[in-house]
Structure 1
């Protein structure tokens, strides 16, 4: 069957001699793998189509839901500035790998195509990368069924003043003073950071404008969201390891 889809390249790998297999997050066909013959050969007309973050129209044959074979393609946005900047490339790669690892084929669709498009555009537009990724992570957690409970204590369900709350990545939400014994290592959280996490949970990336966040709060959000991702999803991502290296050397 012939498919014509708009998609974003979220993974690209060499296959055989001169070929490549790309994974696309598409607007209307879920997440699909497509074989691109001859893409790695010199002067291949498809060489640019297999680059990470590339958005385009892809035409491919696929039988019985298996691997497709590319017939034609046209780039609508290359996102080459992301690939030319080390930090932007690292964050964009993390977003793509996270989506690829967490969501199954049938779970992707127009919503995730829009979310990833907004994420890549925001990174390219020099918006704060850490905040962009934190919102993206929140959406991933929610889609996977692990969205944190941030409005009420996750144990007793009572609404308490923000100053009394801690956040428990292990339990998946906030804890009031009376319930802290359920998770003694629960993390302290400032009212400002908690307010932003609630904002991240309520909004999606297509509606996120410029958010002015102080450096200390950004660091706090990053630490908390990393803890949520580690406890709730437990993924070992190559792109996350690279981001950790960037942090180590303050890049």
Structure 2
């Protein structure tokens, strides 16, 4: 039976001589593995809709091991992301976040819409990439069901004094001074960092220009968030993020 859904290509892999296997995050069916027959041929109708970042309306049917694409109508290629190194690097990271964590064939409409919105904004960005990515990260992990506790101590429930708090990767939220003695793997966080983290959680991705943040705070917050995300999704690292950091270390991007 043929079905339709909007979807975005997270990853593409060559299969046999002219085919591709695509990891597609679809609106109606969650993440699926789909074959685009003949996508590598010069005149294939799937050339545009089978590329990473491509956002399309797909028609497909489910086979024994894979979905099979019969039609792909492009909605947005997000071509401008590919034309800028920073956009490409961070866009690839966003796709890896999604591909690494979402459950196959389990729809997540909020996360799907967040990704489409993020890529649309990223297509026109020239700076402030780190702030944008941190805001995406905390929204993303929240939509996966792991929203961190940021209002009081996640362990005892008491109010937290701004200059005497920490963030527990293990417990998934801020902890007070007393509980930090019981949680030895917690990370440093102060009142200013907590304030900015809440702002990035609750502010829409297209309104981040209103938030002015020191770069050292952004670096610390992303370090905490990445470790928290990796713990939540049981992964060791993100290849694309490691690549970004290696480029930054060598003075690029």
| Structure 2 length-normalised TM | 0.88
Match of 1:104 in 2: 103
Match of 1:241 in 2: 242
Match of 2:18 in 1: 18
Matched, 1:87 2:86: yes
How far off is 1:208 after superposition?
A: 4.5
d(CA) in 2 for partners of 1:144, 1:57: 24
CA contact (8 A) 1:167 1:174 kept: yes
Matched, 1:54 2:19: no
Match of 2:135 in 1: 135
Unaligned runs of 5+ in 1: none
Unaligned runs of 5+ in 2: none
d(CA) in 2 for partners of 1:14, 1:161: 54
CA contact (8 A) 2:165 2:176 kept: yes
d(CA) in 2 for partners of 1:24, 1:125: 23
CA contact (8 A) 2:36 2:46 kept: yes
CA contact (8 A) 1:139 1:204 kept: no
Per-residue Cα deviation, 1:187-219 (whole angstroms, up to 9, x for no partner): 2223222112223444564x6542332222222
SS at match of 1:46: coil
Say if 1:108 and 1:135 are closer, same or farther in 2 by CA, change over 3 A: farther
How far off is 1:59 after superposition?
A: 1.5
How far off is 1:171 after superposition?
A: 2.8
d(CA) in 1 for partners of 2:42, 2:55: 22
How far off is 1:158 after superposition?
A: 0.2
Moved over 6 A (4+): none
d(CA) in 2 for partners of 1:20, 1:168: 42
Match of 2:154 in 1: 154
